[in-house]
Structure 1
Amino acid sequence: MDKARITALATATVVASGVLWGFYWLPVRRLDALALPGAWGTLAIVATAALVLSPVAWIRRREIAAASPLALASIALGGASFALYSTGFVYGRVAIIILLFFLTPVWSTLLAWALGAPVPGLRLVAIALGLAGLGLMLGADGDLPLPRGTGEWLALVSGLLWAIATTAMSRRPAVRPEAAAFVFALGATLCTLALAPFLEPFPPVPGISALVVAVPAGALWWGAAMAGLMWATPRLEPARTGILLMSEVLIGAVSGALLAGEHLGTYEIAGGALVLAAGIVEVWPVRKRD
């Protein structure tokens, strides 16, 4: 396959992944309604994903064993961050949870600066836009601009952990997408196992109706979509990938409004627009001086 077709396929994969993740809150909320509250629903999904991907992990076991421990830890941390993000949908409004997670560019830039990397002027603009958007969203009711409730805190922390994970991933040799997807799901499973009992009591054994939701969700979102995204990302420019993934924000906001009746206020919409602008500015190519 020539480069143009590979690029087109990778682009379509990233867009499809973003659109799909924009609807991810639906199975999470459904499992909450089916007596798997809090992080228990997420645990059912990610444990299913780890189980589905385990044959691939067995085939790639030597490669996984030979991989850098830091690379594996960073992938697992990425899975943990997505587990927090997933759980946030149970406690918070869909659009706000997604937008708080998409503050990742701000944390990534601050982390790069803390590690001694040069920070171009555009990245400083991204930080300013992101923090201004955060303040508008969280202070829309006239209160202090702090996360309100468990869901918003989980989303904010998940974005921070994702920034740490992706920074660490970029500094270590890559792992094959299939193997990485398993480690990602395993990290999410361990995180939710530790978190779930602190948020909600132990639920009853899930019935068939819960499994009918959890199994396809784990296989589709955490299995196929995540493996596809990990395949596509190295084949595209970071700027293109970052912008294409913002389809998740649009789909999540629209689906949350139409299907859950979760409408945003004027200040929250303005804050969300600033967060999206920060994401675009952060991934915008920076010209190097000769």
Structure 2
Amino acid sequence: MGHTSPKSLAVAGLLFNALVWGVCWWPFKQLEALGLHPLWATALVYAFVFASIALWLWRSGQLQGWRGHPGLWLLLLASGLTNVGFNWAVTVGDVVRVVLLFYLMPAWSVLVAWCLLGDKPTPMALLRLLLALVGLFIVLKTPETPWPVPESLADVLALMGGLTFAITNALLLKLKDAPSASRTLAMFGGGAVMATLAAVVGLATGVVAVGDAPAWTWLPLVALLAISFLLGNLALQYGAARLAAHTTALVMLSEVLFASVSSVLLGAAQWENRTLWGGSLILLAALLSVTDTSRKD
């Protein structure tokens, strides 16, 4: 029997992480059906993962403070809003549409890198931005509306999640000198904190219900999601540390495939011509982003 190469294991790790994120819409929808709002579910899942990682780091003596790295608080905010936007959107909206709008992230990255990192966009970056925005125009434009505007809460949440995901990636680059454990805690802590705050605000405004389902009905699914996200994050770190950045980005695009196929098969999404055409341009912009990154590696 032949030995599996480290590169193959790294790719497998990235694919596993993409699979986790690509199909996580289903348990979130099931939890909502059981009476647990996706914001409460996100808060519980990320609090569990945050506590698990913090306990492990503390027992191993690797738990470090955030002194000298105030940007970690911005990372907590941005990554938390990313998870709030994505998890809520895939629960209440058409999954394919949500994932495509979320994957405008490479386009937003052009503007975010310009603002946060001072990286002026190249002609190729501007082309990617233009392609992605044309794709956004096509996806959002319906026969009933004169202008392509978000038509639902899911649209708004997906667009917000993609933008804050781009900000998260820029902050990770900006905070590359901060301890990796601190960055990880900031990201999972952000999911717990921002989801809780959003849920509390939602309660006060009547958008989010408390829910009266007994814990035993939804707790196993919450635990499964938490373990899946934790393993997915570990797999992502393993794979990303052993592959070129452009390879990682390319493999992670498989999340769109996992989400699209699973949601269509399970009846949570529909194929529409404008979604296909617009989505193709958005994915083309993402692929060009991968190609552009590979030239810099």
SS at match of 2:46: helix
| RMSD of aligned residue pairs (Cα, Å) | 2.3
Amino acid in the other structure paired with 1:212: P
The 5 Å alignment of 1:63-78 reads: 63-65=64-66, 68-71=69-72, 73-75=74-76, 77-78=78-79
Worse overlay, 64-73 or 50-59: 64-73
- Within the candidate set 114, 130, 133, 2:132 is matched to 130
Does structure 1 residue 188 correspond to structure 2 residue 195? no
Counterpart for residue 267 of structure 2: 260
- After TM superposition, the structure 1 = structure 2 runs for residues 242-261 of structure 1, keeping only pairs within 5 Å, are 242-261=249-268
Aligned residue among 261, 281, 285 for 1:278: 285
Whole-angstrom distance in 2 between the partners of 1:182 and 1:62: 10
Could you give the per-residue CA deviations for residues 256-282 of structure 1, whole angstroms, max 9, x where no partner exists?
111125212101111111111010111
Identity across matched positions, percent: 25
Q: Which moved more, 1:77-86 or 1:150-159?
A: 77-86
Partner of 2:148: 145
CA deviations 1:96-144 (Å, max 9, x no partner) are 1111111111111012233531322221111011101111111144422
| 1:136 partner amino acid | I
Q: Choose which of 154, 167, 180 in structure 1 pairs with 2:157.
A: 154
**Is the counterpart of residue 230 in structure 1 residue 237 in structure 2?**
yes
- Is the CA contact (8 Å cut-off) linking 1:83 and 1:191 kept in structure 2? yes
Deviates more, 1:102-111 or 1:169-178: 169-178
The corresponding residue for 2:14 is 14
Q: Provide the TM-score with structure 1 as the length reference.
A: 0.89
Aligned residue identity for 2:159: L
User: By how many angstroms is 1:48 displaced?
Assistant: 2.4
Residue 64 of structure 2 aligns to a residue whose secondary structure is helix
Q: Which whole-Å deviations, capped at 9, do the CAs of 1:141-200 have from their partners, x for residues lacking one?
A: 442211121111111101111111111110123556655443322111111111113131
Q: Which residue of 1 aligns with 2:172?
A: 169
SS class of match (2:266): helix
What is the aligned length?
Answer: 284
Determine the C-alpha separation between the residues in 1 that align with 2:97 and 2:159: 10
Once the two structures are TM-superposed, the CA of residue 61 in structure 1 deviates from its matched residue by 5.2
In structure 2, stretches of 5+ residues that fail to align are none
- Supply the AA of the counterpart residue of 2:291: W
Residues 114, 227 of structure 1: alpha-carbon distance in 2 compared, 3 angstrom cutoff: same
**What one-letter code is carried by the residue in structure 2 that aligns with 1:37?**
H
Letter of the structure 2 residue corresponding to residue 84 of structure 1? G
**Equivalents in 2 of 1:191, 1:180: separation in Å?**
16
Distance in 2 (CA, whole Å) between partners of 1:75 and 1:9 is 30
| More off after superposition, 259-268 vs 247-256 | 259-268
- The one-letter code of the counterpart of 1:45 is V
Q: Which residue does 2:121 correspond to in 1? A: 119
Once residues 190 and 281 of structure 1 are traced to their aligned partners in structure 2, the CA distance between those partners, rounded to angstroms, is 34
Q: Tell me the residue number matched to 1:215.
A: 223
Match of 1:201 in 2: 209
1:41-56 to structure 2, matched below 5 A, reads 41-56=41-56
Q: TM-score, normalised by structure 2?
A: 0.87
Q: What is the distance in 2 between the residues matched to 1:232 and 1:98?
A: 22
Q: Distance in 1 between matches of 2:10 and 2:181?
A: 16
One-letter amino acid of the counterpart of residue 272, structure 1: G
Q: Measure the CA separation in 1 of the matches of 2:178 and 2:19.
A: 25
Unaligned 5+ segments in structure 1 are none
